[in-house]
Amino acid sequence: MTASVSMTAPAEVYRARRAKLAASLSRPLVLFAGEPRARQYATNTYPFRAASNYLYFGGPPVPGAALLIEPGSDGDDGCLLIRRRIDFEEIVWIGDVPSDSALAEASGMAQRNFLTPDRLDERVKGRRAAYLAPPCPPTMEWVRRLELEPASPDDIQPIIDQRLIKDDHELSAMRFAAEVAV
């Protein structure tokens, strides 16, 4: 049995967001999901919440994952989901995980665009790729190993511009929230 994937928008919304961002990028951009917080004691269960920019562009809520968005891509081809494979022994400890087909359907990315972390090296090494990541040690170690550069203000501005203007899906969700709140 595999876990379901909970996303806030339909796959085509994420695909369109990635394509719009890709049209304004001048170099590859890697958006990291981050890692779950360490549990300090049993009643402190902080559920995993991926980084918001990663989620906004259709990254499924999978710990340790990342999105690579290539300049000029169409939101599917030229965009990659990087996540590690979970083996049976890990499933015993962490529970069911979403299948690749469930991740593809939820994110709007073809399974052929899924890579394991070791394959990301060949895609970004020596290309001056930029990154946005939450400051968690495993993610920052990954950034150092890949020799990624922090996103500059010019790299971040297209994300800010896109997120400031709400798309139809966001407006619909905001209207619904206002209706149920009143």
128 within domain boundaries: yes
Q: What is the mean pLDDT of residues 115-130?
A: 89
Q: What is the mean pLDDT of the chain?
A: 88
pTM of whole model > 0.85? yes
Which of 24, 109, 23 lies closest to 58 in space, CA to CA?
A: 109
Residue 96 has pLDDT above 80, yes or no: no
Confidence at 2, pLDDT banded by 50, 70, 90: low
CATH of the domain at 134: 3.40.350.10
153 within domain boundaries: yes
Q: Which domain holds residue 15?
A: 11-181
CB distance 66 to 82 below 8 Å = yes
104 within domain boundaries: yes
Of residues 43 and 138, more confidently modeled: 138
3 within domain boundaries: no
80 within domain boundaries: yes
**Structural domain total, the chain:** 1
Q: Cα(80)–Cα(153) distance, rounded to whole angstroms?
A: 23
Which of 28, 18, 26, 34 lies closest to 142 in space, CA to CA?
A: 34
